[in-house]
Chain A
Amino acid sequence: MSDHHPHEETTRSPYAARIRAIEALLLEKDVLTEPEVQDGISYMEARSPANGAKLVARAWLDDEFKTLLLSDGKAAATALNMEPAHPAEFVVVENTPTIHNLIVCTLCSCYPRAILGRPPDWYKSFEYRSRAVREPRAVMREFGFEPPEEVEVLVHDSTADVRYMVLPMRPSGAEELGEQELARLVTRDTLVGVSVPLAPDHPIPADT
């Protein structure tokens, strides 16, 4: 095997090849222009779970903002200079000491992309989509989180029109932290509900 481009040569999937072929055809037939493709990529790359973490951290510190976030997610995102322009609704559901929420799209991969960017690959997998509704507690256990028996698990199966994000509970020991430090405890997985925020004394993962 050539060792010049080991990564490119060995890990490209047939899907990636298909996407490249479709993109080339759309350009060739003037359905899309190169700048439009670049704009689409920039749009998605400008969005990331960091937006969700920011919304969560602000809600933890500011009750009024939390009320807004839970009643009108788009208005809350706009207030923090995000652009939730996608026509879909953006609904935030709150974890409490007695309720834990988990988000799935059994149909496909509906996700609040306008806020959080692209969903993780596992979110789109058949395994997650079928098991999250059938055995949500086992799925969360595999992510390293086990809600106690007395906590109700609410699974939300979404469609294109309503995209959900979880507002997790603030971990104990985080009372003294500022907004940016709090935001770093909120991982992408906690916004889907498969896990909960890192403990404040947890080693902070490197930025990616």
Chain B
Amino acid sequence: MIGPFPSPEDLAYGLSGLPERTLYKVGFKQADLWEDYQGPAEDILYADVYEHWLQPGEGGTA
């Protein structure tokens, strides 16, 4: 977790961006993302993702 920030979509329209949304740093193994990834299995992609861009995954809870 990185911390709370005003919602970027809201700010883009000149609004307050409130309530603030939590920004997460989400790590993915490259090998899980791309079947034909050219590189070691340890390589990782970290994406900064706001809370409201995330959805519960399969088997997850909301």
Contact = CB atoms under 8 A, between A and B. Distances in A.
A193 to B, nearest CB: 12
A135 interface: yes
Contact of A160 (B8, B34, B44): B8
Interface in B37-61: 37-40, 42-48, 50
Nearest to A105: B48
B61 to A, nearest CB: 26
Nearest to B21: A161
A124 interface: no
Contacts of B42: 152
A64 B45 CA distance: 29
Nearest to A161: B5
A163 to B, nearest CB: 10
A82 B49 CA distance: 29
Contacts of A153: 30, 39-40, 43-44
Given A89-B2, A136-B43, A162-B23, A157 B48 contact: yes
Interface residues of A, number: 21
A157 B6 CA distance: 19
Interface string A37-50: 00000000000000
B44 A152 contact: yes
Given A152-B43, A159-B8, A160-B8, A138 B38 contact: yes
Nearest to A150: B40
Nearest to A88: B5
Interface in B2-40: 2-3, 5, 8, 23, 30, 34, 37-40
Given A152-B44, A162-B23, 10 more contacts: A135-B37, A137-B38, A152-B42, A152-B43, A154-B43, A155-B43, A156-B48, A157-B48, A159-B50, A160-B8
10 contacts: A137-B39, A138-B38, A150-B40, A152-B44, A153-B39, A153-B40, A155-B45, A157-B46, A161-B5, A162-B2
